[in-house]
């Protein structure tokens, strides 16, 4: 995630970034202003979903390892479902995220 954020620094530095705990810490250490929520397993995924449900997010970029097991997988699935319900774009891999950012560039 940090590598992706750095590759898109020009655009993302103008955006309000929100991240779960550890990811947010690494992004902040890379020089970005980021609002950090709880870590994913401690409720951060649910916090992001709540922001989606209340219309506070324009898109979600949430990279996940499709081959790995995550103890908070039900939370990740819930986040994906909430994005679908509220018609909020969701990217779960770098290629999809790059396409979403192309759309964001077009609207800025």
Q: Would you kindly state where each structural domain of the chain is located, as residue ranges? A: 2-107
Q: Is 45 a catalytic residue?
A: yes
Task: Return mean pLDDT, the chain.
Answer: 92
pTM: 0.89
CATH superfamily for 2-107 is Methylglyoxal synthase-like domain (3.40.50.1380)
pLDDT tens profile 28-47: 999 999 999 999 889 999 99
Output the DSSP codes for 16-46: -EEE-HHHHHHHHHTT--EEE---GGGTHHH
Q: 73 and 54 in contact (C-beta within 8 Å)?
A: no
Annotated active-site residue in 45, 65, 75, 84: 45
Query: What pLDDT, on a 0 to 100 scale, did the predictor assign at position 74?
Result: 85
pLDDT tens profile 44-101: 999 999 999 999 999 999 998 778 777 778 888 999 999 999 999 999 999 999 999 9
For residue 107, name the pLDDT band (cuts at 50, 70, 90): low
């Amino acid at each position: 995630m940090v590598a992706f954020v750095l590759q898109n620094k020009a655009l993302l530095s103008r955006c309000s970034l929100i991240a779960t705990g550890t990811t947010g810490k690494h992004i902040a250490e890379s020089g970005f202003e980021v609002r950090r929520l709880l870590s994913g397993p401690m409720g951060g995924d649910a916090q992001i979903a709540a922001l989606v449900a209340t219309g506070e997010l324009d898109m979600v970029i949430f990279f996940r390892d499709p081959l790995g097991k995550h103890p908070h997988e039900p939370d990740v699935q819930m986040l994906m479902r909430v994005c679908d319900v509220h018609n909020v774009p969701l990217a779960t891999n770098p290629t999809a995220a790059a396409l979403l950012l192309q759309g964001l560039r077009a609207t800025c």
